[in-house]
């Protein structure tokens, strides 16, 4: 969910990918050296169980996990380092009064600048939709396919618990570059408003507004971008957002855009109930119950609980999808993700609603694993998405 403030994702040096990790860690060392001045100027309560650069598991959680499962995810040291750092960073950034320390997040969330000159066959520009609410998107165009007949359009919503990150965060810039190259597609990465400054339904409104903007301003896209072959893609909170935007757009009806597919990468859903996976993996990095509870409270309207339809999409207050032309959907689930039970319920709910849905399970992976290109499963996931896009287009 906090899928990458400054992860070792290969996004720092696009021209020389073998040097990117050295650049990243040099950058981190400088930031960490200066971090104390920021922390000393802010009132921050750090939970005792979170230790920088170590597994963020309490003794009680370690005992519980040992009793329920002897298996642990085997991850490279760079991945473990990044996950531990990011978990601790977001714990520091979340204040007890329900606000986010934006100064701290901005300090450590290094940005990637848009570059209209192709780098590794991908060019990028930023397009403003509504300056009054800082609504914009980053447009990724595959240079080598500039003269191709038609290119599908991917509208991407980043993760971060609705509270963190943006399209110009290095890791998400790198992810969308990978999408653009691997899928031979035009990618639109949406900068939506964040909580707790902007609560529900601002994020869904922003997502819908970008789709409306594209529908009415076809000229901002490359000439060979095919809006009749549009896919919504989101990871974690972005997967939640993609679902709700899909429902809104299907109900709305657009002139040029036709959403034919949805890719939901470990979507962030929940509810009042504590599922078996949430209990089993409580204390896991990134998406422990303590973290997700805080973020849901920051997102939802005052007085709402986690059975709100924005959170528990398949629960007692869920919308009826049976009469909607909901797009074909691909859902990714991981075996060490505390959110996996909610993701499976989402998939089952789509199937019971008569929708075409497919689920792919990575039993040894964690939440947000696809962000890390050093993991073989990350590349495999992209191959699965490419296959889904190809097959979906062939059926239209």
- Per residue in 117-151, pLDDT (tens digit) is 999 999 999 999 999 999 999 999 998 655 568 99
Q: Residue 231's beta-bridge partner residues?
A: 154, 261
The pLDDT tens digits for 343-369 are 999 999 999 999 999 999 999 999 999
pLDDT at 375 over 70: yes
Task: Determine the topology of domain 122-395 in CATH.
Answer: Rossmann fold (3.40.50)
Separation of alpha carbons 361 and 179, rounded Å: 20
The pLDDT tens digits for 174-226 are 999 999 999 999 999 999 999 999 999 999 999 999 999 999 999 999 999 99
Q: Are 138 and 102 in contact (CB under 8 A)?
A: no
Q: Are β-strands 122-130 and 151-157 bridged in parallel, bridged antiparallel, or unpaired?
A: unpaired
Instruction: Report residue 327 as tokens.
Output: 């797009």
Q: Are 269 and 2 in contact (CB under 8 A)?
A: no
Model pLDDT, residue 146: 53
pLDDT at 102 over 60: yes
Which residue in the list 123, 236, 264, 288 is annotated as catalytic? 236
Q: Where are the domains of the chain?
A: 3-108, 122-395
Instruction: Report residue 290 as tokens.
Output: 């303590």
Q: Which of 199, 341, 215 is nearest to 267 (CA)?
A: 341
Phi, psi angle pair for 58, to nearest 5°: -75, 165
Of 228 and 34, the one with more pLDDT: 228
367 is catalytic: yes
Model pLDDT, residue 125: 98
Q: Are 343 and 336 in contact (CB under 8 A)?
A: no
Round the average pLDDT of the chain to a whole number and report it. Answer: 86
Q: Are 7 and 172 in contact (CB under 8 A)?
A: no
| pTM listed for this prediction | 0.85
Which residue in the list 91, 235, 337, 341 is annotated as catalytic? 337
In percent, the amount of the chain with pLDDT more than 70 equals 81
84 is catalytic: no
Model pLDDT, residue 29: 42
Tokens 């409580």, residue located = 282
361 is catalytic: no
Of 77 and 39, the one with more pLDDT: 77
Q: Are β-strands 328-334 and 151-157 bridged in parallel, bridged antiparallel, or unpaired?
A: unpaired
**Helix ranges, the chain (H):** 20-40, 59-68, 77-93, 102-108, 170-183, 202-216, 237-252, 276-280, 289-299, 340-352, 376-395
In percent, the amount of the chain with pLDDT more than 90 equals 77
The pLDDT tens digits for 253-299 are 999 999 999 999 999 999 999 999 999 999 888 999 999 999 999 99
At 74, the pLDDT band (50, 70, 90 cuts) reads confident
Separation of alpha carbons 262 and 239, rounded Å: 9
Which residue in the list 158, 198, 244, 367 is annotated as catalytic? 367
């Amino acid at each position: 969910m906090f899928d990458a403030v400054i992860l070792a994702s290969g996004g720092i040096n696009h021209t020389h990918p073998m040097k990117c990790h050295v650049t990243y860690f040099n950058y981190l060392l400088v930031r960490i050296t200066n971090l104390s001045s920021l922390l000393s100027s802010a009132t921050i309560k750090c939970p005792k169980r979170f230790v920088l650069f170590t597994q963020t598991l309490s003794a009680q959680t370690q005992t519980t996990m040992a009793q329920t499962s002897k298996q642990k995810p085997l991850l490279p040291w760079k991945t473990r380092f990044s996950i531990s750092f990011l978990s601790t960073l977001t714990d520091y950034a979340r204040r007890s009064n329900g606000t986010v320390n934006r100064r701290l997040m901005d300090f450590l969330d290094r940005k990637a600048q848009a570059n209209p000159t192709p780098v590794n066959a991908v060019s990028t520009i930023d397009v403003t939709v509504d300056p009054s609410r800082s609504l914009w998107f980053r447009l990724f165009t595959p240079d080598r396919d500039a003269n191709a007949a038609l290119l599908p359009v991917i509208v991407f919503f980043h993760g971060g618990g609705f509270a963190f990150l943006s399209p110009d965060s290095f890791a998400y810039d790198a992810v969308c570059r990978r999408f653009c190259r691997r899928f031979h597609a035009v990618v639109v990465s949406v900068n939506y408003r964040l909580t707790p400054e902007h609560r529900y339904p601002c994020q869904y409104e922003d997502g819908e507004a970008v789709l409306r903007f594209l529908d009415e301003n076809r000229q901002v896209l490359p000439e060979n971008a095919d809006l009749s072959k549009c896919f919504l893609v989101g990871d974690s909170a972005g997967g939640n957002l993609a679902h709700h935007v899909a429902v809104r757009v299907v109900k709305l009806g657009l002139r040029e855009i036709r959403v034919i597919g949805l890719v939901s990468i470990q979507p962030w859903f929940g509810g009042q109930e504590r599922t078996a996976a949430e209990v089993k993996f409580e204390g896991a990095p990134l998406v422990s119950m303590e973290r997700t509870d805080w973020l849901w409270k920051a997102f939802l309207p005052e007085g709402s609980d986690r059975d709100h339809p924005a959170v528990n999409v398949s629960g007692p207050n869920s919308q009826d999808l049976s009469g909607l032309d909901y797009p074909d959907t691909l859902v990714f689930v991981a075996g060490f993700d505390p959110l996996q039970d909610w993701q499976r319920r989402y998939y089952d709910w789509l199937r019971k609603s008569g929708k075409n849905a497919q689920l792919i399970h990575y039993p040894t992976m964690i939440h947000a694993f696809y962000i890390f290109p050093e993991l073989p499963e990350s590349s495999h996931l992209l191959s699965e998405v490419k296959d889904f896009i190809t097959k979906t287009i062939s059926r239209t």
